[in-house]
Chain A
Amino acid sequence: MKLFPVQEIGSLPKAPWQIAYLRNDHPTDADLQHLSKWAKVSSFETETQTRSVLSSPKTKDTERTLREYSSLFGLRYLESAGLDIVYDGEANRIEMYEHAIRNSNGFEFYGHVRSFDNRYYRKAACVTKAGFRKPYHLDEFNYVKAHTKRKIKVPITGPYTLADWSFNEFYQKRLAKKYSDFRKLKHEAKRELVLDIGKEIIRPNLKALVDAGADFIQVDEPALTTKPDEVNFFVEAFNESTAGINCKLSVHICYSDYRNLYPHIMELKNCSQLALEFANRGSETHPYDMLNLLIEFGDRREIGLGVSDVHTDTIEEPELIRDRIKYASKVLDDPSRIYVNPDCGLRTRSWDVAYAKLCNIVKGAEMARQTT
């Protein structure tokens, strides 16, 4: 792999024609223009077939076909932006939490909860023991694998985040008689939920992906530092769910105080990369001083360096991205440990903004390569 490989983190926005068709609406002219525009830009080879599906009545077969084309559309978009490591922009996942929970056992959805501004997620309660229903990323992985020659990284939401974003009714009720102090009850019930999700849901999913040929999986844990005294629950669950899994594993964490990860994550046994958000924290290079934490704790893992803020439409110039990469290289004193990515998934940006950001990341990484 070349120096400073560029990878995505996960989600892209959903294509408007995909949303319209799946909602039984007729795609508008603007939706179809979107398809044409990006098909040209990204050399999407099935535009005609996609249009044909969009103009036909929705059936199980056409829906499946459209979902495949949507996946291919995301894949080609990322390839044409020049990324070295790709996936499909999570084209067929409802959302990183809901997709996993909806395809697992033990949960019931109660309604939307706001995460910020006008952004929400549908929140579930764990009402019976958390359990495996099916390998919910296998079909998309097999499809992506069959349609790209580039290296693939599969994002999968981690056990701690799935637990933290759920209400924990089952385990709290189960332990209620054991603990009279509510704080202790909540803590222990959370630990049991995280461990069960890791063992019963994440491990069989990882195993299915690796058996199908996945060799690079990113475990998404945006919630990981929410409660610093629970970081060790994740470490325990991660180690248990990945034991014996023969695959490169990265952990993605964002919008967090990374100091809370240490020293616990030094105990992660099978994680060779931390993919972290930085660019949201400031306009220049100072957020990357946080990398000194790795030096302080002797953490020699690779870093997936967040160089583009996914919560703003400002397109970072390639020169700024180059400077961020070079600065991080200097702090880590080892450029070969750096992979380059946006801070997080790009689903909240428009297709134009996301593409411009990705193209500039690719350019910035190339500029950094030339001067290293």
Chain B
Amino acid sequence: MEAHLTGFFPRSEELVRITRAFERHKLGRSELEQATQNDAVHLLELQKKASFDYVVDGQLNWQDHFRPFSQIFSGINPSGLTRWYDNNTFYKQPIITEKVRYLGTGLEEYFRYDLIPVKTAKKAILPGPYTFAHSSQRPAYTSLADLVNDLAHALRETCRRLVEHGYSYFQFDEPALTFHKANNDELTIAKNAFEILGNIPNAKTCLETYFGDAAPILDSLLEFKTNCIGIDLYATSLESIQDYKFDKELACGCIDGRNSLLETPTDLAKVLHKTKTITDKISICPNCDLEFLPYTVAEKKIQLLSETKNRVKL
């Protein structure tokens, strides 16, 4: 059973202090970059110690899920602050002002492959094309489908370049599908995008859903071209998905990234044994980014994930 993280990791108290000092012009960019790098290296060590099967860099310098793409793609400009689903977290809503194309600017700034040892399996986490389009204003596009399609092509090109840097696992976050209960037309648009994304040579892909119940749309999701589907088990009940025939891996979001209460390995074992009745292909992970937790709590959740991976034999 594989284990890995699913998104942004919180910044340490030291990095919080340094980003604040940077904002107040009391420290320079080099100190900020060094502190960010120190946090990323520490996170990589934590994941290695936890024996995770893929490692992530924690996305510690991403301002939000979309901002890096105002550099990496053409046509994207950040605008007003907007709530990130039902969290006390905000993102700058992208405004799509021209056709979206891959540019590649800043790729190395936002994907820290330089810090990850060459032989370590690397996982990159990107916004899914449907959620990206759904979260944006799109004056340059009359059709949502066209924008999703262009984003899928640009994301695919991003992944293709990242494969060259050793990435072998791409997670595409699609909370918009579950949180907003996508209808059939919207699911078709998203499915078409995964026809483009699901076919990245030498890489595994995961469609990650969170913040919403996946059960009502699971029938459709199982038809998407992707190796794995991530489900938030704090928004979806296992009972409601028990009758589906999974021919894909199920990434069990069984560690709650929005709750400071620590799950117990016993409870997690129960969940995983139940999941085993749905499919043999299971991996375990948090249900969403861990950045909604303070750093020390997130560290404990990593340890818990590791203990569960080691203790539960399916």
Contacts and interface: CB of A to CB of B under 8 A. Distances in A.
Interface of A: 110-118, 120-121, 123, 125, 164-165, 167, 169, 172-173, 181-183, 186, 223, 225-227, 255-257, 280-282, 309, 311
A226 B86 contact: yes
7 contacts: A110-B293, A110-B294, A111-B297, A112-B13, A182-B234, A226-B83, A311-B80
B90 A255 contact: yes
Contacts of A282: 80
B63 A117 contact: yes
Interface in B93-143: none
Contacts of B292: 113
Contacts of B291: 113-114
B23 A226 contact: no
Interface residues of B, number: 34
B88 A280 contact: no
A180 to B, nearest CB: 9
B199 interface: no
Nearest to A172: B261
Contacts of B88: 113, 115, 121, 164-165, 223, 226
A99 B89 CA distance: 20
B246 interface: no
Contacts of B92: 116
Given A110-B294, A116-B64, A227-B86, 14 more contacts: A110-B260, A111-B294, A112-B16, A113-B294, A115-B88, A116-B89, A118-B19, A120-B16, A164-B88, A183-B235, A183-B237, A223-B88, A226-B86, A257-B83
A255 B19 contact: no
B86 A256 contact: no
Question: Which A-B residue pairs are the 3 nearest by beta carbons?
Answer: A111-B294, A167-B260, A116-B90
A116 B19 CA distance: 12
A32 to B, nearest CB: 17
A255 B88 CA distance: 10
Interface of B: 10-11, 13, 16, 19-20, 22-23, 63-64, 80-83, 86-92, 234-235, 237, 259-261, 291-297
B260 A118 contact: no
B90 A173 contact: no
Contact of A111 (B13, B64, B87, B237): B13
Contacts of B10: 111-114
B81 A116 contact: yes
Contacts of B83: 225-226, 255-257
Contacts of A223: 88
A138 to B, nearest CB: 27
Contact of B91 (A110, A116, A167, A280): A116
A172 B235 CA distance: 16
B23 A123 contact: no
A165 B235 CA distance: 19
Nearest to A310: B81
Contacts of A172: 259, 261
A118 B294 contact: no
B81 A183 contact: no
A111 B11 CA distance: 10
Nearest to B83: A255
Nearest to B236: A183
A234 to B, nearest CB: 14
Interface centre among B13, B16, B92, B292 (most CB of A within 10 A): B16
Contacts of B237: 181-183
A121 B82 CA distance: 17
A134 B259 CA distance: 28
B261 A173 contact: yes
Contacts of B16: 112, 120
Nearest to B64: A116
A118 B296 contact: no
A20 B156 CA distance: 50
B266 to A, nearest CB: 14
B261 A167 contact: yes
A110 B260 CA distance: 9
A177 B87 CA distance: 26
B124 to A, nearest CB: 21
A223 B80 CA distance: 17
Nearest to B234: A182
Contacts of A121: 88
Contacts of A167: 259-261
Contacts of A227: 86
Nearest to B291: A114
Contacts of B22: 118
Interface centre among B80, B91, B235 (most CB of A within 10 A): B80
Contact of B82 (A111, A112, A165, A255): A255
Contacts of A111: 10, 13, 294-297
A311 B261 contact: no
A282 B95 CA distance: 12
Contacts of A120: 16, 20
A118 B20 contact: yes
A169 B260 contact: yes
B64 to A, nearest CB: 7
Given A169-B260, A169-B261, A281-B80, A112 B87 contact: no
